[in-house]
Structure 1
Amino acid sequence: MMSSRLNGFGFLAGQPHPDPKRKTLLFIHGAAQNSRFWEAQVSGLAPEFNTVALDLPGHCRSQGPLCTSVEEMASAVLEFMDGSGLPSVVPCGLSMGGGIVLQLLLDHPSRFPEAILANTGARLRVLPDILEAARSNYDAYQKALFHFVVPEPRRTPELKDALDMATETGNAAAVTDLTACDAFDVMDRLPEIRSRVLVLAAEKDISTPLKYGRLLSDKIPDASMKVIQGCGHFSPMESPEEFNNHIATFLA
């Protein structure tokens, strides 16, 4: 796995040069996170696919400014794709990243025959108390978030350290990202999606419960759903082998 920058975008990649004969998994992180969230996918799926995880503008190694809407974030992803020349892109987004993927599928359907939505929804409302906590006491917000969204058996020191590395240190990204999530709503447009979609949901996810994934699977015409047992909102890190296996099977 390598870390690099291109045209102002920071990213992780599973290989120095993408193979034009392979599909490219493009991983898009959630609110206040960065590309390191996807390390287990970038490295674990690299033997079968081109793998890339992007830092959204203003996050980690990517230049700013921060995007203030999911639509802007989707445009930034397209800008990165066009500048890097990635072949056969299959976007995979978690939470806010899933909202970005939905926006891409709706606005640019011909570019994405397949896509993966992980622990996300067609509407991403944020409780006012959560947004205020991110704004006023970011350290406390981060600590509370770990205990809120990760089921007790999964709360290991190793996972906490990995999540800390994959989370932005200042609260500017969190506040901007969460505000963008709160305004996002494509509920009525789901039947327009014509891509083949895998919906990955987590059994113990409190942030985006299973009913969110079921709605996506029911409303998107060519969607299938898999549930990762025992995991919470950060299932790609909590159970990376199972998460990766579902992706590999879907794209096989």
Structure 2
Amino acid sequence: MWLDVAGKRVFAATGGRDFDNTKPTVVFIHGNAGDHTVWALQTRWFAWHGYSVLAVDLPGNGRSEGPMPDSVEAFADWMPKLLDAAGVKQAALVGHSMGALIALETAARHPDRVSRISLLGFAYPMKVNPDLQALADSGAYTVVELMNDWMIAKRNQIGGNRVPGSYLLGGSIRLTDNAPRESLALGFRLCNAYANGKQAVAAVTCPAQIIAGERDIMTPLRAARGWAAEFSQGRIDVLPGCGHMMMGERPDETLDALRSFIAG
């Protein structure tokens, strides 16, 4: 589905069904160097069970036209424009990693547009290793390999994917490598620079969920546990044996947690 958002072409997948803005809407927001494809299973279930889905390619990522906003706050102010373009008054936001920061800040800045938020792979502050940032700034391919090695738990890198014949690590490397290097580097910078997380958590009044991977080394579980208790209506769901890319590592369990929170 193509949308005109502030004069730019933006792509959003709809889970295999035509978008209907009269239904409850769930917006899925990918992380740095991702796109709508990371939500394949989760979006399809919601689209076929009474919801309308927008799995957006953020500006400057996937099929969407740039430029990419240069701060989490700018992304948060862009989100209502996306909803307006789709004719949606209010939506549930599901964000992963950088997308989790965007979902959080959007709920804090635009509470009337957000019914609830689910934050996957969330931590605050979301600091980036300086060496990783330097590699991203240089455009080196090494950043793609390192990023994916850290994102996916070791035991999940070597097989056992729920879809026969699929190679989770290889697919994730291919997706990250296809992202523009300048968008990847900027994504790291804006995650590292985001400084409003504590205030945003305090400002959020809608129900909030954190979905955390037990073996996530990029946004560790210990950080997620503390923040879940700070929301006025917060909960946390922990996925055993899972790293940062829970949508691929534990797709069924991720969907179950989202169903329980959004549809339950």
TM range (shorter): over 0.9
| Structure 2 CA distance for partners of 1:138 and 1:24, relative to 1, 3 Å | farther
Task: Point out the more displaced range, 53-62 or 118-127.
Answer: 118-127
1:33 is matched with 34
* Secondary structure at 1:61 match in 2: coil
Q: Distance in 1 between matches of 2:208 and 2:184?
A: 28
- What displacement does 1:88 show? 4.0
- Kept after mapping to 1: 8 A contact 2:21/2:87: no
Q: Which amino acid aligns with 1:242?
A: E
Which residue is 1:244 aligned to? Answer: 255
Give 2:184's match in structure 1, choosing from 170, 174, 177. 174
State the shift of 1:165 in Å: 4.9
Contact 1:24 1:86 in 2 (8 A): yes
Specify every segment of 5 or more residues in structure 1 that has no aligned partner in the other structure, as ranges: none
Look up the equivalent residue of 1:79 and give its one-letter code. K
The correspondence for 1:186, drawn from 181, 193, 196, is 196
Instruction: State yes or no: 1:6 paired with 2:3.
Output: yes
Match of 1:233 among 240, 244, 261: 244
| 3-state secondary structure, aligned to 2:147 | helix
Aligned counterparts of 1:240 and 1:160: Cα–Cα separation in 2: 14
Give the corresponding residue for 2:121: 119
Equivalent position SS for 1:64: coil
For normalisation by structure 1, the TM-score amounts to 0.92
Give 1:119 shift: 0.8
- The superposition leaves residues 183-228 of structure 1 with CA deviations (integer Å, 9 ceiling, x where unpaired) of 1022431222111011111100000001221122111111011101
Q: Is the 8 A contact 1:24 1:87 kept in 2?
A: no
1:9-88, aligned counterparts within 5 Å? 9-14=10-15, 15-18=17-20, 20=22, 22-48=23-49, 49-86=51-88, 88=90
CA drift of 1:121 comes to 2.0
Q: How many residues are paired up?
A: 248
Would the alpha carbon gap of residues 123 and 51 (structure 1) be closer, same or farther in structure 2, given more than 3 Å must change?
same
Which TM-score applies when normalising by structure 2? 0.88
8 Å Cα contact 1:45/1:244 also seen in 2: no
Aligned-pair Cα RMSD in Å: 1.6
Alignment of 1:218 onto 2:215: no
Equivalent residue runs for 1:137-152 within 5 Å: 137-152=139-154
Larger mean CA deviation between 202-211 and 49-58 belongs to 49-58
Match 2:167 to one of 158, 164, 167: 158
Which residue in the other structure is 1:110 paired with? 112
* Greater CA drift, 111-120 or 144-153: 144-153
SS at match of 1:219: coil
* Contact 1:217/1:225 (8 A) holds in 2: yes
Residue 217 of structure 2 aligns to which amino acid in structure 1? Answer: I
Contact 1:149 1:207 survives alignment (8 Å) = yes
Percent identity reads 25
Q: Structure 2: which 5+ residue stretches go unaligned? A: 160-165
Does structure 1 residue 205 correspond to structure 2 residue 205?
A: no
Change (3 A) 1:86 1:164: farther
